[in-house]
Homo-oligomer: A and B are copies of this chain.
Amino acid sequence: MVQRSKAPSITQVAELAGVSLQTVSNVLNFPDRVRPETQKKVLAAVKTLKYSPNAAARRLKTAQASSIAVRLDSNSITDGDGRGLYSGFIQDEFVYQLTVAAENRGIRVITYTANNPEDELKKINLLCNSQDIDGLILTSTQLNDPRIKLVNSKGVPFITFGRPWGDDKMYSTQRPWIDVDGSFGTSLATQKFWDSGYRNIGYAGWRFETHKKSDPQNVNEDRFQGWLDTISKLDKSRKYTSGRNFSAKNDESVLGGRKMAAELLEKFPEIEVVVCASDTLALGVLLESGRLRKKPLIVSGFDNSPVSKEFNFSSLDQDLLEVAHSAIKILMGESGNQIRHIDFTKESTKAHVLLRPILISR
């Protein structure tokens, strides 16, 4: 069995190149300080020895972990309530793209898991205290999220993927976030269907509580609002103000979609198209309407997941590579390789990024 060979150190590179440690370090970190011939010698030695700097030593000296952490969740559903066909699609794809974006800046991504919120606080605490990370990605944030308080107390830069709905400080630079504009998405789908000549465009989404605030207070409401505002504006012949016409709400499951299709077809037989809050719901509407009628309803979904591709319906695509790049920018600024507290008042980087989904027509 091959034993792990002791990796070459900077000392060996210096010896082989016939220069001092300092020079080797300079060639690697500040090439400008060293004249070309010396650089060449050093680089040749680096190549010969297949040298890479020892990351632990560098981290110790620079006090920079050059790492960020992100939580991973299980996609295996344990209980009975539906979570759709591919609940983790966005999260998993985001983590993938985050790793891509981080690699581009020389940053490592460390994953962690949590059984419950307290467990997560412990894990984050350890990650920060051991100085394993100098930045954190938070997903699915709650109102008054205790994780934010913790991370702030540690002075570790963070960013949330998803707006902190309902938080007073939603637009404070203390609460940087990146999100995809759901309302814009459903509006876009509605408009496109209208432009294609359809006039009876319904909506199938998730349940939410009504309240008196003027702005949407969660994702469910946000996506619904995009459809409602747009169809109300386009179609003056009906009153959509109650929000009940042509729209239905149910669980995130194929069955939920099926139920809504049945409901909508019964109440509004003239309906032609249904804008849906998710690909799972869209599939439910598609299948059930195909069963009840000869010709299924036209549907659009959300996330452009494999489901929408396999069943060939339109869907709103979130550009997760761009989401990930934006997240990294908020942690590191426009360039450079350090995770740091960005001064959003002085730099061009924005603390809040709302990306627009695009409609993939099928």
Interface 1/0 per residue, A292-335 and B, CB below 8 Å: 00000000000010110111000000001000000000000000
Is A38 an interface residue when CB atoms closer than 8 A count as contact?
A: no
A52-B126, A85-B85, A253-B310 are known contacts. Are A109 and B108 too (CB-CB below 8 A)?
no
Which of A67-75, A211-219, A233-241, A264-272 has 4 or more CB atoms under 8 Å from chain B? A67-75
Interface 1/0 per residue, A122-141 and B, CB below 8 Å: 01011001111010000000
Q: Is B72 touching A96 in the complex (CB atoms < 8 A)?
A: yes
Which one of A56, A60, A87, A255 has the greatest number of beta carbons of chain B within 10 Å? A56
Interface 1/0 per residue, A73-90 and B, CB below 8 Å: 111110000111111110
Q: Is B254 touching A310 in the complex (CB atoms < 8 A)?
A: yes
Query: Which residues, 35 to 68 on A, are CB-close (under 8 Å) to B?
Result: 50-57, 59-60, 65, 67
Taking Cβ atoms with an 8 Å cutoff, the residues of A that contact B are 1-5, 7, 50-57, 59-60, 65, 67, 72-77, 82-89, 92-93, 95-97, 99-100, 103, 108-113, 123, 125-126, 129-132, 134, 152-156, 174, 253-255, 280, 287, 304, 306-307, 309-311, 320, 341
A-B contact pairs, 24 of them (CB 8 A): A2-B154, A2-B155, A3-B155, A4-B134, A4-B155, A4-B341, A52-B126, A54-B131, A74-B93, A74-B97, A75-B89, A75-B92, A76-B304, A84-B306, A84-B310, A85-B306, A96-B113, A99-B113, A100-B113, A103-B113, A103-B123, A254-B311, A255-B310, A280-B310
Apart from the given pairs A50-B125, A83-B306, A92-B92, 9 other A-B contacts in the complex at a CB distance below 8 Å = A4-B134, A57-B60, A59-B59, A72-B96, A76-B304, A77-B306, A84-B306, A85-B307, A254-B310
